[in-house]
Structure 1
Amino acid sequence: MTTETLQWTPVCLASDILPDTGVCALVEGVHVAIFRVGPTPQFFAIDNVDPKSQASVLSRGLVGSLGERIVVASPLYKNHFDLRSGECLESPEHSVRAHAVRVEGDQVLVALN
């Protein structure tokens, strides 16, 4: 599926997300965590529900890097999720979905994958 055929949902302004933090949005009934990373902002979106606890908390996790990977650490069980792929580094069976995200002007848009 190309980015042109995705259903894009506006979620917030890019300036609403502080650098190296995340926010949560409800996109088509799905809790999505959107992250702004780095001084030249990159934006990432993954499922917000921690698969181990079933709590909607990943947007509150600590953003950082492990090697070349940009990750968020779950605030509950400290598992690390790759923000590009949604892979759980400690337990791949607990991986989450990564979603398409783009910025138009100052508007952040997310499309579910």
Structure 2
Amino acid sequence: MSTWIDVCDLNDLQPDSGICALVAGKQVALFYLTKTNMVYAVGNFDPIGKANVLSRGMIGDLAGEPMLASPLYKQHYSLKTGACFEYEDIKIDTFPVRIDNNRVAVKIEAE
């Protein structure tokens, strides 16, 4: 069953960068893009580098799509869909995010 889990205050996030949070037993990388005032949540596990490091990746956009570049081998992932731009058969987990009263919540399946 998936549920909304309060994670942190919006001010706890690093602007235009990532942080990692343990949410319902899962490592979740949160990215706050100040230009669009959006927060994205993805799994912290890099499926190519086989390590929990995606929160340390660089963010930007490719052709207008918000993306994350892995800090290990530099593959690019869509922050919206989790799809890898270089390999169509690889995808990272993405989670819905909502901001209510400056609190960031992530909708995730509890373990």
Provide the TM-score with structure 1 as the length reference.
Answer: 0.88
* 1:6 Cα deviation from its structure 2 partner: 4.4
Provide the secondary structure at the position in 2 that maps to 1:93: coil
Provide the secondary structure at the position in 1 that maps to 2:52: coil
Does 1:64 find its partner at 2:60?
yes
- 1:11-50 maps to which residues of 2 (within 5 A)? 11-50=7-46
Unpaired runs of at least 5, structure 1: none
Paired residue total: 109
* 1:77 Cα deviation from its structure 2 partner: 0.8
Higher fraction of strand: 2
Does 1:104 find its partner at 2:94?
no
Percent of pairs with identical residues:
39
Unpaired runs of at least 5, structure 2: none
Question: Of the two structures, which has the highest relative contact order with CA contacts closer than 8 Å and spacing of 6 or more?
Answer: 2
Q: Distance in 1 between matches of 2:51 and 2:2?
A: 27
Task: Kindly provide the amino acid, as one letter, of the partner of residue 9 in structure 2.
Answer: L
- 1:60-99 maps to which residues of 2 (within 5 A)? 60-99=56-95
Provide the TM-score with structure 2 as the length reference.
Answer: 0.90
How big is the alpha-carbon RMSD for the aligned residues of Structure 1 and Structure 2?
1.5
* 1:92 Cα deviation from its structure 2 partner: 2.3
Provide the secondary structure at the position in 1 that maps to 2:55: helix
Task: Decide whether the 8 Å contact of 1:19 with 1:41 is kept in 2.
Answer: no
Q: Could you list the runs of 4 or more consecutive aligned residues of structure 1 that deviate by over 3 angstroms after TM superposition?
A: none
